Amino acid sequence: MNNLYAIYGASGCGRSLMPVAREHLVRLGIQAEIYFIDDALTTIEEVNTHKAMNYTHFKALPHEQKYVLIAIANSRIREKITNQLLNDDINLWSVRSNTTIVMDDVQIASGAALSPFVTITSNIKIGKCFHANLYSYVEHDCVIGDYVTFAPGVKCNGNIHIEDHAYIGTGAVIKQGTPDKPLVIGKGAIVGMGAVVTKSVPAGVTVVGNPAKILEKK
Ligand SMILES: CC(C)(COP(=O)(O)OP(=O)(O)OC[C@H]1O[C@@H](n2cnc3c(N)ncnc32)[C@H](O)[C@@H]1OP(=O)(O)O)[C@@H](O)C(=O)NCCC(=O)NCCS
């Protein structure tokens, strides 16, 4: 019996990652259909020529091994779905584009989505379900936690630590740290699009601007 592959989420994120997933399988010489999973669906439909169904339908398909990439930007939802998949003995699937570059001594946990033109340089550790959108890069000696999300064009320079569930907006630039004093983006912090981050960011806050400052809640 063949393995079965799916992308969880048929919104913008999932539809943009489907071609990446297709080329990923071609690169590995695997011939298999890739499905969309979307819990808003009650019947089996078609999205961009791929079969799309809800999770209950997907779970019922009789395949030996199932691999699922979670293509949902909200990291808390990614975590919830991860727990559900693991509970159901379904594997987290990682995909990367043919134009993604990964250099030396890089550890990336399962469930990663590395979009076109992403570069991960050397001596980097990345946790579960990382999303690196178009043209983002991660420079040397960074440590990235679980469920971290990079929107397109994030410039993450060397010796930066990004904790679990942080979200980095489009085009943000983060200043490098040093080996003994990494710049830290705290757990669940949000960096706004276009921000220039020059200092560590506490957990849970949102920062915007150049230089980035905390956006106070109104
Ligand atoms: C920072 C961010 C999370 C704030 O979102 P929010 O809490 O909904 O904030 P609001 O849109 O209500 O804006 C609040 C204030 O911050 C300002 N602001 C919002 N985002 C900003 C940014 N990136 N840079 C500078 N100022 C920003 C707004 O102009 C507004 O200012 P005002 O109160 O003077 O009018 C959001 O604007 C952002 O940058 N998200 C990332 C988007 C992205 O990269 N998407 C990629 C999709 S693939």
Instruction: Give me 132's structure tokens.
Output: 């690196």
Alpha-carbon 179 to chain mean position: 25
Entry field: residues in the chain? 218
The model's pLDDT over 8-28, given as tens digits with 9 standing for 90+, comes to 999 999 999 999 999 999 999
In the three-class reduction of DSSP (H, G, I as helix; E, B as strand; rest coil), residue 52 is classed as: strand
CATH of 96-211, one of 3.30.210.10, 2.60.40.1890, 2.160.10.10, 2.130.10.10: 2.160.10.10
Indicate the domain borders of the chain.
Answer: 4-93, 96-211
Overall pTM surpassing 0.95 (yes/no): yes
CATH of 4-93, one of 3.40.50.20, 2.60.120.1440, 3.40.50.300, 3.40.50.2000: 3.40.50.20
Task: Give the other-Cβ count within 10 Å of 107's Cβ.
Answer: 10
Q: How far is the CA of 169 from the centre of ligand 1 (A)?
A: 9
The model's pLDDT over 132-188, given as tens digits with 9 standing for 90+, comes to 999 999 999 999 999 999 999 999 999 999 999 999 999 999 999 999 999 999 999
- Could you tell which of 15, 191, 201, 215 is best to mutate to test the pocket of ligand 1, judged by most ligand atoms within 8 Å of the CB? 215
| Nearest CA residue ID for atom 16, ligand 1 | 215
* Distance set, CA 94 to CA 26, 51, 189, 213 (Å): 14, 20, 24, 34
Q: How far is the CA of 192 from the centre of ligand 1 (A)?
A: 6
Q: What is the DSSP string of 94-161?
A: -EE-TT-EE-SSEEE-SS-EE-TT-EE-SSEEE-TT-EE-TT-EE-TT-EE-TT-EE-TT-EE-SSEE
Q: How far is the CA of 2 from the centre of ligand 1 (A)?
A: 45
